[in-house]
Amino acid sequence: MTTALEALEHYDPEIYELIRQEKARQSGAIRLIPSENYVSRAVMAATGSVLTNKYAEGYPHKRYYEGQEVTDLIEDLARERAKKVFKADHANVQPYSGSVANLGAYLGLAQPGDTICGLLLTDGGHLTHGWKMSFTSKTFNSIQYRLDPKTGRFDMDHIRETAKEVKPKIIISGATAYPREIDFKAFGEIAKEVGAYHVSDIAHIAGLVVGGVHQSPVPFADVVSTTTHKTLRGPRGGLLLCKEEHAKNVDRAVFPGLQGGPHMHTITAIAVALAEADTPEFGNYAQQIVKNARAMAEKLLELGFELVSGGTDNHLILIDLRNKDIPGRKLAKALNKARIVSNCNTIPDDPAPPFNPSGLRIGTPSITTRGMKEEQAKQVAEFINKVVENVDNEDMLEKIGQEVLMLCSHFPVPDHFIVPENQK
């Protein structure tokens, strides 16, 4: 019997070859984009399964089409696993992505035109936290709060003052480029003080929350939103968790409010990823992500780099490159030539424009999945420093790339396949 990939090679050699090239790129590079990861073979198999063939509008046991004997069981399992690992009352596993999940959260709690209050994109928030170009600011009245530019951290007094002044219907906690632990309890208290709902977007740190190395927002938020493919290490998708009192409205906001048929192959793979996350091995993985980020941050500081907030508590480091006099985009491109993949990023109160910002965002979820530890994290910091010192020297970048390739060869992308004890 031919495998799925062999069939693809036969029927579409052009796409097969491009997939082969992307696989080689992913294994022959140190991937530091903090929102990326490598999924297990089990998650990959579920994503590429026959569940892609099925329409399932509605929710389990209340569907619009027939033939849901299996899909209902799968979605029930995914929801139960999500509720278990996040200790939540209710889970909705249908959002196609984090953006749709966020909009589902807002529309489940508020009406178009209501005021929402989230972190400014250029200070580390997400587009869908109310950025001026996003549908979230076109649908809602968006007032954005800032980080403290001196500390690079949330300033809870400023957030409280802003909330008291604008009286939002929803306060959003969460970020995409924030290297410190977020005090969700404090956000919950401010929301209560001003009579707002609290929506927490944990897309970046969901795996750290499940692994017990970051405070969970579940007890302090009305709705928690996440993607499933970052530190949580599942397929690309979205997930909403909420208190029972909001379950009906959140479900209605997702379907039929925003979406049609759920992507059942993704939901199947989310169920697999959640079973993997519900293991002691995953807790160790989450701990190691943070240890690796700390080790990398310490080495970078030693090498004279300036880090926003002075370090990290989570999976992510934001380098302020102004003392190195290299624009973020230029460095990200030079690093890519040396097989180190990152992204340029704004820093809080960045004087430079978002398309060519002053920062570089890096993170450790992917290298940790490859089995790298603190020693390799420090080595990666040294590679970054070498690239900075040779940013215009193509021969040196090529040479550093060969050293990176050597390190990668010692840490092959694993076909990790975690089977929970109770399912062996």
Which residues of this protein are in contact with ligand DSN, per CB under 6 A?
Answer: 35, 98, 126, 176
CB-wise, 129 or 246, nearer to ligand DSN? 129
The answer to whether the CB of 230 falls within 8 A of the CB of 77 is: no
CA distance 101 to 112: 16
Residue of 84, 236, 243, 330 marked active site: 236
CB-wise, 136 or 279, nearer to ligand DSN? 136
Please provide the DSSP assignment of 306-365 as one string: EEGGGS-SSSEEEEEGGGGT--HHHHHHHHHHTTEE-EEE--TT-SS-TTS-SEEEEESH
CA distance 407 to 236: 28
Residue of 57, 189, 298, 403 marked active site: 57
Closest distance of CB 317 from ligand DSN, Å? 14
The answer to whether residue 55 is catalytic is yes
The answer to whether residue 226 is catalytic is no
CB-wise, 58 or 365, nearer to ligand DSN? 365
The answer to whether residue 201 is catalytic is yes
Rounded to 10°, the helix 394-410/328-337 angle is 60
The answer to whether the CB of 110 falls within 8 A of the CB of 97 is: no
Closest distance of CB 128 from ligand DSN, Å? 8
**DSSP conformational letter for 423:** G
What distances in angstroms separate CA 308 from CA 20, 129, 330, 347, 361, one per listed residue? 37, 21, 19, 7, 10
Residue of 47, 122, 227, 368 marked active site: 227
Return the H-helix or E-strand segment holding 389.
Answer: helix 374-389
Residue of 75, 123, 201, 251 marked active site: 201
Closest distance of CB 231 from ligand DSN, Å? 11
Closest distance of CB 37 from ligand DSN, Å? 11
The answer to whether residue 421 is catalytic is no
Closest distance of CB 35 from ligand DSN, Å? 3
The answer to whether residue 162 is catalytic is no
CB-wise, 35 or 139, nearer to ligand DSN? 35
CB-wise, 74 or 254, nearer to ligand DSN? 254
CA distance 341 to 36: 10
Q: Which residue is nearest to ligand DSN (CB)?
A: 35
CB-wise, 35 or 162, nearer to ligand DSN? 35
The answer to whether the CB of 88 falls within 8 A of the CB of 244 is: no
The answer to whether residue 236 is catalytic is yes
CA distance 410 to 395: 24
In the three-class reduction of DSSP (H, G, I as helix; E, B as strand; rest coil), residue 91 is classed as strand
Tell me phi and psi for residue 404, to 5 degrees: -65, -40
CB-wise, 35 or 136, nearer to ligand DSN? 35
The answer to whether the CB of 283 falls within 8 A of the CB of 211 is: yes
Residue of 79, 230, 233, 294 marked active site: 230
CB-wise, 188 or 363, nearer to ligand DSN? 363
Of 319, 316, 252, 285, the residue nearest 103 (C-alpha): 252
Closest distance of CB 378 from ligand DSN, Å? 24
Closest distance of CB 176 from ligand DSN, Å? 4
Alpha helices in 68-140 (DSSP H): 69-86, 98-109, 135-139
Residue of 16, 55, 183, 306 marked active site: 55
Closest distance of CB 126 from ligand DSN, Å? 6
Give the contacts of 95 (CB within 8 A, at least 6 positions apart). Answer: 101, 104, 225, 237, 238, 239, 240, 254, 258, 259
Q: Mind telling me the catalytic residues?
A: 55, 57, 201, 227, 230, 236
